[in-house]
Structure 1
Amino acid sequence: MTATAPARAGDHLRLENQICFSLHAASRAFGGVYRVVLKDLGLTYPQYLVMLVLWEHGALPVKKIGEHLRLDSGTLSPLLKRLEATGLVRRERSADDERSVTVHLTDAGTALHEKALQIPRRISAATGLGLDEINDLRTRVDRLTAALTAADLDDGPPCG
């Protein structure tokens, strides 16, 4: 039976011990895999996320899409303009409120859904994880995200 070595002062500041860096590295690795997998669809990863929301919910105001993706309209608007330029979505101002723009899938955008059905399987295979492991990991990351979103760091002790 082996005892674990006691942590040395400062070990908690090593890069390899940072959960944020592990998540950052995983996100970058996912980005690389998605770049390859989405190439056939002609989509970037952020565009793919928009399409996922529209395939799931149908036409939505830009504000609602932003809420689903946790993106502000300044980030979302150029994305939607590019999707519109490729003929996958159509943006339409509300007759009731000119400030509100609703995004609709075009026929081409709807048809792309069928082609996208293979994406989750390819991503899952790339992870090397089983379905149960992926679901467990997603649940844990979602719980982490919720906790970090709710964290009130203004009341914590000062650093230094």
Structure 2
Amino acid sequence: MRYSFQDYISIKIHKTDLLLTNFIKTKLESYNIAPEQNLILMLLLENDGLTQQQLVIKLNKDKTNIARMAASLEKKGFIRRSESQNDRRSVTLHLTETGKALGDIILPISEEFNEQISNGLSKEELIELERLLTKISQNVQKSQ
């Protein structure tokens, strides 16, 4: 059976991802922060002092991307990077006071964003969506 372009689940997921990314990008633009940088800030708000390697794992990004985003966040004054005392190859990230203040602003934006995109979905539907996305991710990982 041949699928039309619009029938591919990967295309539907990609289009949805683009919509989500553009939506949150617009919300964060005035704060000089990109959506992916926002993810790092949110993780540090949750658990300050994560290493770059921990962010690589949590965000499923390569080391170079995380290092580049961390450097940008540091240049903007939102975080500071320091070498781990136990392992000089390991870099730990900490929020600055400016980063914490920004977190107080962007966390409600992120929460509102999450509420807007899940509007009309029941708790059961959200659980099912997470289950299905996890299954798709596992299928991709198995085929690599």
Please tell me the TM-score bracket, short chain as reference.
0.7 to 0.9
TM-score, normalisation: structure 2:
0.86
Map of 2:58 onto structure 1:
68
Paired residue for 2:96, among 106, 110, 113?
106
Q: Distance in 1 between matches of 2:21 and 2:94?
A: 26
Quickly say closer, same or farther: Cα 1:47–1:113, change in 2 above 3 A. same
Kindly provide the CA deviation profile for residues 32-71 of structure 1, in whole angstroms up to 9, marking residues without a partner as x: 1011111133210110111111111111111011111011
TM-fit CA distance, 1:123? 4.5
Q: Distance in 2 between matches of 1:146 and 1:128?
A: 23
Q: Distance in 2 between matches of 1:100 and 1:148?
A: 30
Map of 1:141 onto structure 2:
133
**Structure 2 unmatched ranges of 5 or more:** none
Q: Verify: 1:118 aligned to 2:109, yes or no.
A: yes
**Aligned amino acid, residue 20 of structure 1:** S
**Structure 1 unmatched ranges of 5 or more:** 1-8, 155-160
Report if aligned partners of 1:41, 1:115 keep a CA contact under 8 Å in 2.
Answer: no
Q: What's the Cα RMSD here?
A: 2.0
Q: What secondary structure, in the 3-state scheme, does the structure 2 residue paired with 1:102 have? A: strand
Report if aligned partners of 1:34, 1:123 keep a CA contact under 8 Å in 2.
Answer: no
Count residues in correspondence.
141
Greater RCO, CA 8 A, separation 6+ = 2
Identity %: 21
Bigger share in helix: 2
**Aligned amino acid, residue 33 of structure 1:** F
Q: Which has the larger radius of gyration?
A: 1
Q: Verify: 1:38 aligned to 2:38, yes or no.
A: no
Runs of 4+ deviating beyond 3 Å: none
TM-score, normalisation: structure 1:
0.78
